Each structure stands twice: as structure tokens, then as C-alpha cells.
Amino acid sequence: MTLPAIGLGTFRLKGQTVIDSVRDALDVGYRAIDTAQIYDNEADIGQAIAASGVAREDLYLTTKVWIGEFRRDALPASLRTSLQKLRTDHVDLALIHWPSPDDEVPMAEYLGALAEARAQGLARAIGISNFTVAQTRQAIGILGAKAIATNQIEVHPYLQNRRLVAFLREQGIHVTAYMSLAYGEVLVDPVIRSIARRHEATPAQVALAWALQQGYSVIPSSTRRGNLAGNLEAAGVRLDEDDMARIATLDRGRRLANPEGIAPAWD
């Protein structure tokens, strides 16, 4: 399945905040929504979708399985619970949120359980998130590269993750970039702002266009309707070679998602 280029991220959004964000996003044209079990907002998202009037077949829903649900007997059941909350009989994409810390659960066990969940019809496609090169190589050995729809990883101008991205491209595994705006840090970057002025675009649109032009999917979040609409329009911003080269110089290895006790040894 082809992943949508732009989706709505919902990290850190809960309750009425995420309900309003999903409602506004669907209203301005989003058709892909990304959530996770640990976000504790799947039920709110399900409520917002049900009230939107948008047909389920027109939506692309992604959720991510948390590390506490990796055992073979627990993972499919946890996905069924996610489906109940989302008010659907399947997600379009189910991801392993993080590799099991210290391999507490063997990768063969939880990836095998994820593949079984797909075989049961709980997810149309499966993938991984926050896997390093070595971990992705191991996952390929278990599932085969063709079975891995994406590796969802942190990518933005300050963390361009080039080694991992190059490996994923070699293997034909799609890149989904999260934290594309680096929690807003890139929005005040002089280089990004200069490029934005030249294109009569917003800094957010430039950062997203930079990712889109490299073939990544992006899942920015926002609680403001205007920003949601503006982010969606990033697909129409065309950066030239000079723009891309200038943004390439911004890479500083600035990693924002690095939870202690969970994050792997990064590339």
C-alpha cells in the first residue's frame, strides 16, 4: 500500500484538543491520521472520525503498538483494543513503536505477532518505528523488506538521519518522518525563513516541502486550523537545488525523541 504523503500527527494531543484537531484536519482535507497506543487518544480520535461524516474507506489510519504489548499473546489483543477505541475493524498501518528495550522481548516474537495480526485482518500493512540500521536489517531477516511498509523515524533539518535513510532507500522501505518541525525550532531558523520569504511560503511549509521532495511522508501536528491548512499546502511548494543544499547544511544531529531506557543505540 502507498502511504499518504501528508498526515495528521497527534502526539501529545488528548481530549477535546485532539478531537478539535482531527475535526479541523478532516474538514480542510486531511485523510491520514497517525496515533499510537501510548498517546492515550485513540478513543478521542475515533469519536472525532465518527462525528466527521468522512467515510472510513477514505481514511488512512496508523497506530503504533507500545512496548508493553509485545508478547505474542498480547500484541493482537492490544490491537483489537485499539480498533475498538478507533471505532473501526482495521487500521491501514500498524507499527512497532520502539524496538524492545534491551531485547526484553525477542524481535522475532513481536514482529511475528504483528505479522499474525495483519493476517487476521487487524491491519492492512505493518511496519516499524525508531529502528536503527542494525535493527532494520534484523527485521528484514524476519519479515522480508517487502513486508515492512515504513520505518517511522525522526527527521528534520537539524537531524537528517542520512545513514539510516540511505539504508532504507537501498532496501525499498519507505521513510515516514516525524517531528518535521523540530518542535518549532526550525520555524525561526534564519535559513528556513529566508527560503520561505523567497517562495512566499511559511517556514513550516518549507521544512515540510524539504522532506516531501526527498520522498518522505510527513505527519505534522497542529491545534490551529490555519496551520493545518497551511501544512497541507506544503506539497505545492517546490524548492530548488540551492534551497535543498542550504537546508542540508543545517544538520547538527539534534535529536529530540530520545527517551531514556527505551531509545536504542542510535546510528
pLDDT tens digits, residue range 87-145?
999 999 999 999 999 999 999 999 999 999 999 999 999 999 999 999 999 999 999 99
Structure confidence at residue 35 (pLDDT):
99
Dist. CA 115–CA 148, nearest whole Å: 10
Instruction: State percent of the chain over pLDDT 70.
Output: 100
Structure confidence at residue 1 (pLDDT):
62
Per DSSP, the residues of 161-202 read: -HHHHHHHHHHTPEEEEE-TTGGGGGGG-HHHHHHHHHHT--
The residues that are catalytic are 39
**Angle 165-162-253 (CA atoms, 0-180°, nearest 5)?**
130
Beta-carbon contacts of 103 under 8 Å, excluding residues fewer than 6 positions away, are none
Residues 7-38: tens digit of each pLDDT: 999 999 999 999 999 999 999 999 999 999 99
Give the CATH number of domain 8-181+216-221.
3.20.20.100
Query: Quick check: pTM over 0.85?
Result: yes
Task: Tell me the binding residues for substrate.
Answer: 97
Instruction: State percent of the chain over pLDDT 90.
Output: 99
Dist. CA 207–CA 220, nearest whole Å: 10
Structure confidence at residue 73 (pLDDT):
95
Give the three cell numbers for residue 238.
517546490
Assign 71 a pLDDT band (cuts: 50, 70, 90). very high
Assign 263 a pLDDT band (cuts: 50, 70, 90). very high
Q: Where are the domains of the chain?
A: 8-181+216-221
Buried b (16+ CB within 10 A) or exposed e, 192-209: beebbeeeebbbbbbbbb
Task: Tell me the binding residues.
Answer: 97
Give the three cell numbers for residue 199.
517562495
Structure confidence at residue 129 (pLDDT):
99
Assign 180 a pLDDT band (cuts: 50, 70, 90). very high
Structure confidence at residue 167 (pLDDT):
98
Judged on CB neighbours under 10 Å (0-12, 13-18, 19+), 261 is: exposed
| Dihedral sign from CA coordinates of 171, 177, 178, 183 | positive
Identify residue 79 by its one-letter amino acid code.
L
Neighbours of 132 (CB within 10 A): 19
Q: Rounded mean pLDDT of the chain?
A: 98
Structure confidence at residue 7 (pLDDT):
98
